[in-house]
Structure 1
Amino acid sequence: MNDVLLRSLTPSVLGILVRRGADFAAAEDAVQDALLEAVRVWPDNPPRDPKGWLVTVAWRRFLDATRAEAARTRREQLLEEEPVRESAPAVDDTLQLYFLCAHPSLTSSSAVALTLRAVGGLTTRQIAQAYLVPESTMAQRISRAKRTVSGVRFDQPGDVATVLRVLYLVFNEGYSGDVDLAAEAIRLTRQLAAAIDHPEVAGLLALMLLHHARRAARISPDGNLVPLAEQDRSRWDTAAISEGITTLYAALARDRLGEYQAQAAIAALHADALTAEETDWVQVVEWYDELEQLTDSPVVRLNRAVAVGEADGARAGLAALARLDNSLPRYTAVAAYLHERDGDLTTAAHLYGEAAHKATNLAERDHLTRQASRLNSRRSAD
């Protein structure tokens, strides 16, 4: 049984049922029934047209369920006017599902879970493991999301920016359980890029590829977080970097700059540098200036302060940092780094310790604690 094939066909089959008029929850149930039937039948009797087979079975399951409810009789009569088997373009149906799963009435967590279920084809158990929550909790979250979007019809183009935010959230979840969400986000974004010609979709794909290319070097053999400047760049995935940069250049050539393209441009400058010392920090600052204009984000301004510290010296970075709200996440860690670069080891050690207490991520907390211990050891030795 080809699980990859089933997962790739799921969104287009679901999209066909939704487009025919089935509400999302009923259509999703019917598609899941069809997938279970495929697992049972295909090994001994594989179909010549897998997608057509799934559409046929799912549609029949939906009609069976519809017939059982008298209130849906009229809908069934209208829907049966279309032929059961068709080879509709997968692009439009899948694209509709992206916009449906990123509906503005859904919370971010619900939109992500529904996207992974409907477009990604993951099981509830897989999604629950990825989010480290009980399967029953995730099932309830997905059920509520399906009820929310049931009955939604699209008579206007969907919001691409919302879809991209959902995919970016999926990517940032990274890896846990038996589902690699970063790789899954890249797969889904590739799919979206094939379905819609939009420079920001390409920009997000480039950003994901460039970040993911560094994955193998981010964690040391003993499980510790490795900062970008200390990573073994020979472990970076050069093929992913090449694809990311090529994708980015094609997007930038469209001259419709967006935030994901700007972020990808910053990632590309890091990827281009053979060593941390060779990073073109002046250009990095310039791209952060562009990104700040696009987003007006305090997090962007925080990251810009680090880049300024590298391009113009730690004092300049601290001056940029001083203009920001010190309650920002990672503000204290950035202050510690810049004070260390400025030679103030006492202040830096204290701030690293404070930042470690504030960290919500265990790997980051351990890293900051080690930084504080390292500087305290140096001070004691001096």
Structure 2
Amino acid sequence: MDEALLRSLTPHVLGILCRRGAGFAAAEDAVQDSLVEALRVWPVDPPRDPKGWLVTVAWRKFLDATRADAARRRREDLVDEEPEPGPVPGADDTLQLYFLCAHPSLTPASAVALTLRAVGGLTTRQIAQAYLVPEATMAQRISRAKRTVADVRLTRAGDVATVLRVLYLVFNEGYSGDVDLASEAIRLTRQLAAAIEHPEVAGLLALMLLHHARRAARTARDGSLVPLVEQDRSLWDTGLIAEGVGILQAALARDRLGEFQAQAAVAALHADAPVAEETDWVQIVEWYDELVRLTDSPIVRLNRVVAVGEADGARAGLAALAELDSSLPRYAAVAAYLHERDGDPVTAARLYAEAARQAPNLPERDHLLLQAARLNAPGR
């Protein structure tokens, strides 16, 4: 069974049902039912036209559900004749589905879940496992999201920036359960890049590829985090790096700089260094200056502090850090690193311990505790 094929066909089938007159929520339910049927039937009786098969079955599922609902009999004039099986239209509604699932009326969590379900073709169970929540909880979240956008009509261009933000959220979830969300985000972003020519779509795809190229080196065999400076760069995927750099260069050539292109440029400079000591931190600071101009994000400013500390020395980094709000996430971790580099292990150890208490996940907490323990070890 080719689950990747099923996922790639999901938005096409959903779009066809919506064009035939099905409401989004009902169409999405019918498509999910057709996917379940495909998983049951295809291993023993594979169709010659997978897309046509899914459209036919999904439309029948929609008809059955509509006819069974007495409250919706007013729609019988829409569905009283079932189209004959055969070739299906070649139009691609994927882009509209992206915009619908990233509708501004949805919370980020709901937008992510609906995107994975409607565009990604994942089941509710798979999404729930990926986010480590009960399936019933995820089902409620998706149902609420579908109700929210049920009557939305995309009569004007959607907001590409919102779609990209949702995809970036998916990518940052990484991997958990039986779904690799980082790979899924890359697949969906490739799909979006094929549907729309936009430098920021290309920038996000490049950023994902460049980050994903380092995945094998990010954790040790025991699951502990490996900082970028300590990673075995021979484990980095040079093919993904080359692809990401090529996509980024083409996007930058269009001279419409955006946040994701600038982030990808930073990642490319890291990828370009054969050893950590050869990283071009001066250029990285310049790209962070662009990011600050584009976003004015406190988190970007904090990342810039690290780059300044590498380019101009720990004292310069600490001076830049003093201008930021100490309540920022990972502020204490950055302060600890800079104080250690400045020759103050006592302050660094205290700050590493403080950062560990604020860590958002166990691997990061354990890493920070190890740094504190290392500095506090007798006779170091």
Judge same fold: TM > 0.5, yes or no.
yes
SS of the aligned residue for 1:328 comes to coil
CA gap of 1:36–1:350, structure 2 versus 1, over 3 A, is closer
Q: Structure 2 CA distance, aligned partners of 1:213 and 1:343?
A: 33
Note if contact 1:63-1:76 (Cα within 8 Å) is conserved in structure 2.
Answer: no
Q: Which amino acid aligns with 1:238?
A: T
Note if contact 1:102-1:166 (Cα within 8 Å) is conserved in structure 2.
Answer: yes
Q: 5 Å matches for 1:63-102?
A: 63-69=63-69, 72-78=72-78, 85-91=86-92, 93-102=93-102
Q: 5 Å matches for 1:326-341?
A: 326-341=326-341
Q: Structure 2 CA distance, aligned partners of 1:204 and 1:298?
A: 20
Q: 5 Å matches for 1:1-382?
A: 1-69=1-69, 72-78=72-78, 85-91=86-92, 93-377=93-377, 380-381=378-379
1:340 Cα offset (Å)? 0.8
Runs of 4+ aligned residues of structure 1 deviating over 4 Å after TM superposition are 78-86
Q: Which whole-Å deviations, capped at 9, do the CAs of 1:107-162 have from their partners, x for residues lacking one?
A: 11111111111111111111111111111111111111111111211100111101
CA RMSD of aligned residues (A): 1.6
- Percent identical among aligned pairs is 80
Note if contact 1:288-1:300 (Cα within 8 Å) is conserved in structure 2.
Answer: yes
Q: Which whole-Å deviations, capped at 9, do the CAs of 1:277-335 have from their partners, x for residues lacking one?
A: 10000000000000011001000000000000100111111111000000000001000
Q: TM-score, normalised by structure 1?
A: 0.95
CA gap of 1:81–1:161, structure 2 versus 1, over 3 A, is farther
Q: Between Structure 1 and Structure 2, how many residues are aligned?
A: 379
Q: TM-score, normalised by structure 2?
A: 0.96
Q: Structure 2 CA distance, aligned partners of 1:115 and 1:159?
A: 15
Q: Which whole-Å deviations, capped at 9, do the CAs of 1:216-247 have from their partners, x for residues lacking one?
A: 11101122111000100001011110111001
Q: Which amino acid aligns with 1:363?
A: P
1:71 Cα offset (Å)? 5.1
Q: Structure 1 CA distance, aligned partners of 2:201 and 2:81?
A: 36
Note if contact 2:32-2:123 (Cα within 8 Å) is conserved in structure 1.
Answer: no
Q: Structure 2 CA distance, aligned partners of 1:76 and 1:289?
A: 59
Q: Structure 2 CA distance, aligned partners of 1:36 and 1:223?
A: 35
1:64 Cα offset (Å)? 2.8
For structure 1, which segment, 142-151 or 16-25, has the greater mean C-alpha deviation from structure 2 after superposition?
Answer: 16-25
Q: Structure 1 CA distance, aligned partners of 2:288 and 2:33?
A: 49
SS of the aligned residue for 1:381 comes to coil
Note if contact 1:350-1:372 (Cα within 8 Å) is conserved in structure 2.
Answer: yes
Question: What residue ranges of structure 1 are gaps of 5+ in the alignment?
Answer: none
Q: Structure 2 CA distance, aligned partners of 1:237 and 1:77?
A: 55
